[in-house]
Structure 1
Amino acid sequence: MNQEIFIVEDDPNIRDIVKAYLSKEGFQVTLMENAEDAWKKATEHQPDMWILDIMLPGMDGYELCKKIRQTSEIPIIIISAKDEEVDKILGLELGSDDYLTKPFSPRELVARVKRLFKRAIAQPITSDTENAVLKIADLEIDQAARQVYWKRQEVDVTSKEFDILEIFAKKPNRAFSREELLTQVWGEDYFGSDRAVDDLVKRLRKKLEDLPVETVWGYGYRLHYEEDAQ
């Protein structure tokens, strides 16, 4: 497999057990006991997946998850002794792909890791090669180069941010449900919360100020476009 997983967990017993199970399945595992060391390591070398504990000394797992998500769509699994619904929702809103409560079965963790990797390597949304550039008012999307320009300035976006923008731009003014966006961007086998869509849109609104993505309350989102705005 050769996929590398960074595990950030301050409990040595859990670290060793998880490493043993994942290594047996052919994954390369790097263990770290705090978020600060993990983040420093990531600036030198990015893994293919993160497994994060929440209750860490110093920077907690939520903050590390947020930092990772600002620049990357690398799959993230949060493991935590916290079993409250609000904690799970917070983890998903910050960008994690899955949330597993302690104590957990190592076999279940392995199954979720495999499932996330399977989804991560799925074929991306196909582009219309005959119309390689989409232009909607101040938004310009180069589908072939997977580049985004907002008000003539290039904006760095993650893979999923690009995909959802492409979906909106191909069918402006059409309302997309959260479930539909989850399926198109994350894949049919995604098992997380539809709040992941809300988080993705929130990040795009922050990166592309005044982006006319409107909330369709109780349903989803649409990209508002008026032809005379060109």
Structure 2
Amino acid sequence: MNDTIGLVEDDPNIREIVEAYLTKEGYEVKAVDTAEKAWDVFETGAPDLWVLDIMLPGMDGYEFCKRIRQTSEVPILIISAKDEEVDKILGLELGGDDYLTKPFSPRELVARVKRHLKKWEAMKPLPEQGEEKITAGDFVLNQQERRVYFKGEEIEVTTKEFEILKILGAQENRAFSREELLVKVWGDDYFGSDRAVDDLIKRLRKKMKDLPIETVWGHGYRLRDGSS
């Protein structure tokens, strides 16, 4: 089955050109002109990757990206006429995986789509080695089943949330730096700040109140073993 690309772009000329290039490469493209329509696409059958414009009528691309990241780590490639560094950083910190400034080469966009889909495929669950379960107090992570439990309740987590919990849980009480977690979870070619780690931890704490993740000020995070 071919990968599906969600394309959100309100400029009909750009939308048609990008859709044509992606279709030529064999992708199934679901092209829409608003974030509201894109959200309907997401809820009825989430694409394997999003190509997302920032300046949209109604809900803008930043808000859409933020909403997607609440439940999914699917790759998001942002395209925008804004070339300011602050806009790029904001887009990446809200969960974007890449950023292209208009005007851009459609061939370059296709190349980046291929690269991110390849990385996404590599992140999908593989047979786990070592201990099947990781526990810390009321926290349990089942590696083989790719499930997380807290206080006896199963918690829905994204791929990156699962990976960071597995890293922290595999070495209880060890303090990991933000930079170390960024490389381990996002890869060493991630172009964004270490605030992405903070945002992910914040989401986990919201999902699991009293989760024994401690902030190591000026450094990073550790998962306590629950003994203290």
Both structures adopt the same fold (TM-score exceeding 0.5)? yes
> In 1, are the aligned partners of 2:93 and 2:192 still within 8 Å (CA)?
no
Higher deviation after alignment, 137-146 or 19-28: 19-28
Q: Could you give the per-residue CA deviations for residues 135-162 of structure 1, whole angstroms, max 9, x where no partner exists?
A: 1012111111111111222111111111
Letter in 2 for 1:99: Y
> In 1, are the aligned partners of 2:78 and 2:99 still within 8 Å (CA)?
yes
Q: Could you give the per-residue CA deviations for residues 136-194 of structure 1, whole angstroms, max 9, x where no partner exists?
A: 01211111111111122211111111111011011011122233223322334444443
In the other structure, the counterpart of 2:49 is: 49
> In 1, are the aligned partners of 2:32 and 2:38 still within 8 Å (CA)?
yes
> In 1, are the aligned partners of 2:3 and 2:48 still within 8 Å (CA)?
yes
Q: Within the alignment, does 1:98 sit opposite 2:85 as a pair?
A: no
1:221 is paired with a residue of what secondary structure?
strand
> In 2, are the aligned partners of 1:34 and 1:59 still within 8 Å (CA)?
yes
Q: Within the alignment, does 1:166 sit opposite 2:166 as a pair?
A: yes
CA distance, structure 2, for counterparts of residue 186 and residue 164 of structure 1: 10
Q: CA RMSD in A?
A: 2.0
Deviation at 1:109, TM superposition (A): 1.3
CA distance, structure 1, for counterparts of residue 152 and residue 161 of structure 2: 18
CA distance, structure 2, for counterparts of residue 191 and residue 121 of structure 1: 19
Matches within 5 A, 1:75-90: 75-90=75-90
In the other structure, the counterpart of 1:127 is: 128
Summarize the Cα distance change of 1:83–1:166 in structure 2 as closer, same or farther, 3 Å threshold.
same
Over the matched positions of the two proteins, sequence identity in percent amounts to 65
Summarize the Cα distance change of 1:163–1:107 in structure 2 as closer, same or farther, 3 Å threshold.
same
In the other structure, the counterpart of 1:146 is: 146
Give structure 1 regions of 4+ aligned residues with deviation exceeding 4 angstroms: 123-126
CA distance, structure 1, for counterparts of residue 38 and residue 199 of structure 2: 24
Summarize the Cα distance change of 1:52–1:20 in structure 2 as closer, same or farther, 3 Å threshold.
same
In the other structure, the counterpart of 1:58 is: 58
In the other structure, the counterpart of 1:27 is: 27
Summarize the Cα distance change of 1:93–1:110 in structure 2 as closer, same or farther, 3 Å threshold.
same
Instruction: Structure 2: give runs of 5+ residues left out of the alignment.
Output: none
Q: Could you give the per-residue CA deviations for residues 61-93 of structure 1, whole angstroms, max 9, x where no partner exists?
A: 111111211111111111111222222222222
Instruction: Structure 1: give runs of 5+ residues left out of the alignment.
Output: none
1:39 is paired with a residue of what secondary structure?
helix
2:71 is paired with a residue of what secondary structure?
coil
Matches within 5 A, 1:172-211: 172-211=172-211
Q: Within the alignment, does 1:157 sit opposite 2:157 as a pair?
A: yes
Deviation at 1:226, TM superposition (A): 4.9
Letter in 2 for 1:108: E
1:121 is paired with a residue of what secondary structure?
helix
Q: Could you give the per-residue CA deviations for residues 9-34 of structure 1, whole angstroms, max 9, x where no partner exists?
A: 00011111212222222222121001
Count of residue pairs the alignment pairs up: 227
Q: Could you give the per-residue CA deviations for residues 33-67 of structure 1, whole angstroms, max 9, x where no partner exists?
A: 01111111221111111111111111111111112
> In 1, are the aligned partners of 2:127 and 2:144 still within 8 Å (CA)?
no
Higher deviation after alignment, 97-106 or 133-142: 97-106
Deviation at 1:7, TM superposition (A): 0.4
> In 1, are the aligned partners of 2:173 and 2:224 still within 8 Å (CA)?
yes
Summarize the Cα distance change of 1:217–1:83 in structure 2 as closer, same or farther, 3 Å threshold.
farther
